[in-house]
A = this chain, B = another copy of it.
Amino acid sequence: MIPQDTHLQIGSLLFEGLDQIDLTGPFEVLSRIPNSTYRIFAKTAQPVRDVRGLWLTPDANLADAPQLDVLHVPGGSGQEALMDDDEVLGWIRQQAAGARYVFSVCTGALICGAAGLLKGRPATTHWAAFHLLPFCGAIPVNDRVVVDKSLVFAAGVTAGIDGALRVAAELRGDEVAQAIQLYMQYAPEPPFNSGTPETAHPAVLDAARHSVRAITAQREQTAGRVAARLGIAVPPGAAA
């Protein structure tokens, strides 16, 4: 917990083709943390579209970001384009060196991995990319939220809400996080028990794997390149 009178700088990375709720879920929580400034940073000031077409607009350029206390990295298929982007990866490395927390959601973990942050660390990501964590040197943990000192990982998409509430509790204590959760009326009642590969109907899971096969194949290729660049010997069986 950080002293309540310490002002916190919280920032999210925005990029073309992110999955918007990887950003907007945590936004709902992180923008309500007392005595903090929350801003969204991107390579340029231009609006970008999420993977389904939602326009989102950054508050400032990467270069204009102060040292952040919390760096939030969302995912989505647009993550692929950042995996070899020296400007973005360098910015993440530089911010991570001084941040209290780096918080990734979904395949944002792969971006952090490409920046070299995940070597030897427990981590999680979206179920469809989970097998790629060893390519970044991470130890895959099949939990919805993984907290390892200064690194917080949320699994796919909506896990970012749970992860952000954990981050809020780490920063400002349980009561603050509980107040935010109450405001958000976050007492979820999913209509189906279909939110994980373990619980979904096999036919639904097969169709879902089929629908992500193109982006998964691309991610596997990229993961191999990242592993080579980071000098990581991928354990046998980790390859797709």
Query: What chain B residues lie within 8 Å of A25 (beta carbons)?
Result: 21, 24-25
Task: Verify A185–B155 contact, CB threshold 8 A.
Answer: yes
A172-214 vs B, Cβ < 8 Å mask (1 yes, 0 no): 0011011101111111111111111101110111011001100
Residue on B nearest A125 in the bound complex, by CB: B185
Task: Verify A182–B161 contact, CB threshold 8 A.
Answer: no
- Given A20-B27, A21-B25, A31-B53 in contact, is the A190-B186 Cβ separation under 8 Å? yes
- Given A20-B28, A24-B21, A157-B184 in contact, is the A192-B165 Cβ separation under 8 Å? yes
- Given A27-B54, A145-B189 in contact, is the A179-B158 Cβ separation under 8 Å? no
- Given A24-B20, A185-B126, A195-B185 in contact, is the A178-B155 Cβ separation under 8 Å? no
The one of B38, B53, B144, B204 in contact with A175, judged by C-beta atoms closer than 8 angstroms, is: B204
Q: How far is the CA of A52 from the CA of B40 in the complex (A)?
A: 12
Interface residue? A156 (CB, 8 A): yes
Interface residues on chain A, number (Cβ under 8 Å)? 65
Task: Verify B204–A179 contact, CB threshold 8 A.
Answer: yes
The one of B20, B28, B157, B165 in contact with A186, judged by C-beta atoms closer than 8 angstroms, is: B157
- Given A179-B207, A189-B145 in contact, is the A184-B21 Cβ separation under 8 Å? yes
List 16 A–B pairs whose Cβ atoms lie within 8 Å, in order of A's numbering.
A47-B47, A47-B57, A106-B185, A144-B189, A157-B183, A158-B185, A162-B188, A162-B189, A174-B192, A175-B201, A175-B204, A178-B194, A182-B195, A187-B190, A187-B193, A188-B188
Q: Which A residues lie at the B interface, using CB under 8 A?
A: 19-21, 24-25, 27-28, 31-32, 38, 40, 47, 52-57, 106, 126-127, 144-145, 155-159, 161-162, 165-166, 169, 174-175, 177-179, 181-197, 199-201, 203-205, 207-208, 211-212
